Structure 1
Amino acid sequence: MNEIKEFQRSVGVTKSDEFKKKYLATHAINGGLICGHGCAYCSTPSLLRTHALFRNIGVSSFQYFEQGNSIVDPWTAIRVGRQISNLGPEDMVMISTITDCWSPEAQKHNLGRKILEQVLVKSKCKVRILTKNAAVQNDFDIIKQFGDRIRIGLSITSPVSKENIIKLIEPNASMISERIDTMIKAHSLGIKTFGMICPVLPGIGNDTASFEQMLSSVLECDPESIWTEPLNPRGPGITRCMQILESNGHKSIAAQFDMIRTSTLHMFYVEELINMTTAVAKKLNSVDKLKILVYANGDGYKVDDQAVIWLK
């Protein structure tokens, strides 16, 4: 990681129709603009390409991200405290949706915990925590106090057997084994959990054996529901992953990323993923918990879509 920029935004809690469609949350809280985990497939720079900040500093959101930089908003919790009181028990706030509030630069400001304290003390809404960082366990003390209102999930993006490969494209996130251990610890403490096997990456998680390993490890934590989705083709993320993998000697996996860059082959990858994940969930008696997120309306797909949430 290179530069960490502090930037004060105007938003704290935002309504999220998109995450409501996904059955994940009604509202979202994020701790900045670009997360320091540096996941190569991240689509957040695509969402920020017209943001005034990047015009002011003279680089694009893509360039800033590729330089290994991050943008954190240490004042987020203050605004959250002012805005959160209107939310009631029927609302679900998700921390985080586009930037991780337990990423390295957020940890320096204890941002995840500060946000949690504001939400839990000043509102009655439910909370869904999503992170790729095992550091969230440092806040299990406060999470346990409000356990009936909180669900916690750590993104699982590869089986443990491939965690050294995924580390190349998620350089500053916790190891997969550490994320799973954190989920297991949460469950042992009576904290409610949910599964997030996202994204399912070509050559890393989209074969039956790998997905079964990932789903099995999540099921150990008795999650209420489990979400999964294909890799988002938006922006240069696929190409970036391909280049990193190829330069580190994983040419066969890189080739599988390369294959899904065209719309036709990406659709084929999504079709196979839907059928494979559904079949594995049936085998593990968990298809009732599975939610497969797909940015399409279902037209033209030849799939078993009983677990699919079509988002268009």
Structure 2
Amino acid sequence: MKMQVKDIVSKSILTPGKGQLDDYSHSLNPYAGCAFGCSYCYVRQLPVSLYREEEWGTWVDIKSNAAELLRKGLIKAKKKGPVTIFMSSATDPYQPIEVKTDLTRSLLEVMLEEQPDFLFVQTRSPLVKRDIDLFKQFGDKIRVSITIETDKEDIRKAFSPSAPPIPARMKALQEITDAGILTQATISPLLPCSREFPKKLKNIASRVTLDDYWMGDGSGGRRTEKLGIYKIYEQVGMEKWFNPTAYKVVLRMLQEEHGEVGLSKNGFMPGK
């Protein structure tokens, strides 16, 4: 299916933090829509997706005036108090179109000129390592997080076939960590994984955070339930993993390997 891509002029770029992101002053989304189209993405149940004719994962809007809006928005926001930014909450800032647009990179350049107090970069794309040179300039005011929801490629393909391979994500995270940048391996949402998963994450990130649908979709799992995700668990013979207590076993294994592990909302707090 051909991806529908278009440029749009956005009215705003910094959104006040609320709900799961109320620890941040703002969220920042360079794009609307996401080419990765993960089956479990809670954004599928938000207005940006529900009121769109095209299916989630088949369209991307490029906010062509994002850099200009961000510069103005940062200057204004910084006058009111500390500015902490989560990029991104409803799209992936490093999805494939970023290779052509450099839009996310342009926003990082703006934020280096008008630095926020803290920037959290959330992605599942190895492309993020392209911007290591800019990340370094933020010092300890930035954390780069890569989603690694499982270590099993067959599971990744079942739930998010258009998302980047797990080994490539791990390699990118290792490179960013080795560059001296604060990082995070984000297991969100937790998908069926092997017992070796915690060991595979050893030393590739500064810290690890674990989340699942019930804690992290912003509705106690109701949004996820509407997506019919359980059918995929049935198809791969992993029904027992679709359980609000399944994370506890993995959490214990992670703690044995890594010590302190972030859990859901608290694992994304700025500056920690």
Q: What SS is found at the alignment partner of 1:190?
A: coil
Could you list the per-position Cα deviations for residues 179-208 of structure 1 after superposition, in whole angstroms to 9, with x for gaps in the alignment?
11111101111011123110012xx23xxx
**Separation of aligned partners in 1, 2:33 and 2:65:** 15
Alignment-derived partner of residue 292 in structure 1: 264
Q: Tell me the SS of whatever aligns to 2:264.
A: strand
Corresponding residue of 1:42: 41
Query: Is 1:80 aligned to residue 70 of structure 2?
Result: yes
Check conservation: 1:31, 1:106, Cα contact below 8 A: no
Q: Which has the larger radius of gyration?
A: 1
2:184 to 175, 191, 194: 194
SS in 2 for 1:199: coil
Letter in structure 2 aligned against 1:154? I
Cα distance in 1, alignment partners of residues 162 and 64 from structure 2? 19
**Pick from 102, 109, 117: which aligns with 1:117?**
109
* Residue type of the alignment partner of 2:213: P
Task: State the Cα distance separating 1:271 from its structure 2 match.
Answer: 2.4
Q: 1:177 to 1:240 in 2, by over 3 A?
A: same
TM-score (norm 1): 0.72
Over the residues paired in the alignment, what is the CA RMSD in angstroms? 3.0
Give the TM-score, by structure 2 length: 0.81
**Residues of 1 paired with 2:7 and 2:35: CA distance?**
12
The 8 Å contact of residues 129 and 150 in structure 1, kept in 2 or not, is answered as: yes
Q: Which amino acid aligns with 1:9?
A: S
Q: Go from structure 1 to structure 2 and tell me whether the alpha carbon gap of 1:8 and 1:241 turns closer, same or farther (over 3 Å shift).
A: farther
1: CA distance, partners of 2:229 / 2:252: 30
Which residue of the partner structure matches residue 216 of structure 1? 199
Aligned to 2:211, what secondary structure does the other structure show?
strand
Shift of 1:236: 6.7
Q: 2:55 aligned with 1:65, yes or no?
A: yes
Measured in 1, the distance between the counterparts of 2:88 and 2:140 equals 19
SS at structure 1 position matched to 2:3: coil
* Cα 1:133–1:70 shift into 2, 3 Å: same
Say yes or no: does 1:270 pair with 2:260. no
Partner of 2:6: 5
Q: Which amino acid aligns with 1:174?
A: P
**Aligned partner letter, 2:78:** L
Task: From 215, 234, 256, give the equivalent of 1:283.
Answer: 256
Tell me, in whole angstroms, the C-alpha distance in 2 between the residues paired with 1:285 and 1:48. Answer: 38
- Amino acid of the residue matched to residue 254 of structure 2? A
Q: Decide whether the 8 Å contact of 2:74 with 2:116 is kept in 1.
A: no
Taking the aligned partners of 1:158 and 1:235, their CA distance within structure 2 comes to 18
What is the match of residue 237 of structure 2?
A: 252
**Aligned counterpart in structure 1 of residue 211 of structure 2, from 228, 233, 237:** 228
Paired-residue identity, %: 19
Asked if 2 retains the 8 angstrom alpha-carbon contact of 1:102 and 1:111, the reply is no
